[in-house]
Copies of this chain bind each other. A is one copy, B any other.
Amino acid sequence: MRSRRLAILAEGKLGVLTSKTAACIIRYQPERVACVIDSTRAGLGVEAALGFGGRIPVVASVGEAVRFSPDCLLVGIAPRGGALPEAWRRVVLDAIGAGLDIASGLHTMLGEDAEIRRAADAAGVTIWDIRKPIVPDGVSQGALRDRRGRVILTVGSDCSSGKMTVAYELVAFMKAQGIEAAFVPTGQTGVLLAGWGQAVDRVPGDFMARVIEDLTVQALTGSQVAVVEGQGSLIHPAYSGVTLAVLHGCWPDTMILCHQPSRIRIEDYDVTIPPLKELVAMYESACRPLFRSRVAAIGLNTYDLDEDRAAAEVARAEEETGLPTDDPVRWGSARICESLEVGP
């Protein structure tokens, strides 16, 4: 699926956090994006909504999208819970009717939806349910305890705090330094970007850690450093279980804590995000009975702050935690990479 030209459905939601999958593909692989479908922003460029993405057009419908020669519709929004809104069903069927393949990161498996399946078969197009889990033949074995190689995990104060982005940026930076590093994709956006991996949040509970273990082992086969994309947060009421499974599954020696400084509480829940120092202690404590791991750096997501405010937040986080802090999207990954003491 990697080489496909995508029309990305982001209806009503095109934005850095509101359409995370769409935004990440546009940021890192713009050459794959033919256009974005969002009728509420049609006619504007992607740049106007995201602050990047250049001249990628935004259109109102599949009918308009086909003018830009996509060969695949990517459902690029991940609503809470992941189900298919009824309004999007029509768009998916239109895309199938126009001969496009479908890629979707929803929890609802489009390939198992009778109407969509029938339409796809009739049109001879394929459906890629990115989140479809592969259930392994057993549970985690703790195989990473005696590994060769480094495992670095991004962890977060919340969902959508920058875990995938920091991991992805870091691997790109390391590779540029001649370090054999591999990005380990554990969510639908990471899988889309990298063309391998598994969305662990769809895997049955007992097998989550094993899936992460397998992916990490695979990454270390060809690389000296595996940088695992973390999921959720230990303090997120809905997703914390996935977070802990990733943490215990990949057995990291080092963690990078990701946070958006402007966020005060977990969205949709009345949970206040604790001070970074407490979060660092929580993540380190959660590992301790199994293995030693330390948070080595803080990755901030300051996309919604001006330059001065962003710099002030970096200074504040360093002061509070005593850890090297940076926003890799804004200022690059050098500082965070240095804190990890990984050499080529």
List chain A positions with a Cβ less than 8 A from chain B: 80-83, 107, 133, 135, 137-142, 145, 200-210, 234-246, 248-249, 268-274, 278, 282, 285-286, 289-290
Task: Please list 13 pairs of residues, one from A and one from B, whose beta carbons are closer than 8 Å in the complex, sorted by A's number.
Answer: A80-B139, A83-B138, A140-B237, A201-B204, A204-B205, A236-B248, A240-B245, A241-B243, A241-B244, A241-B245, A241-B248, A244-B244, A273-B289
Task: Find chain B residues with CB under 8 A from A137 CB.
Answer: 81, 83
Asked if A142 and B237 make an inter-chain contact with CB atoms under 8 angstroms apart, the answer reads yes
List of 6 A-B pairs having minimum Cβ-Cβ separation, nearest first: A241-B245, A81-B138, A140-B238, A235-B289, A205-B242, A139-B238
A80 CA to B142 CA in the complex, in Å?
Answer: 14
Contact flag A274-B245 (CB < 8 Å), given A205-B203, A205-B205:
no
Asked if B202 and A203 make an inter-chain contact with CB atoms under 8 angstroms apart, the answer reads no
Task: Find chain B residues with CB under 8 A from A278 CB.
Answer: 289
A119 CA to B249 CA in the complex, in Å?
Answer: 38
Q: Copies of this chain, how many?
A: 2
Task: Find chain B residues with CB under 8 A from A141 CB.
Answer: 268
- With A81-B138, A209-B237, A241-B242 already in contact, 8 other A-B pairs whose C-beta atoms are closer than 8 Å: A107-B135, A140-B238, A142-B237, A202-B204, A202-B206, A204-B205, A209-B238, A271-B289
A274 CA to B236 CA in the complex, in Å?
Answer: 25
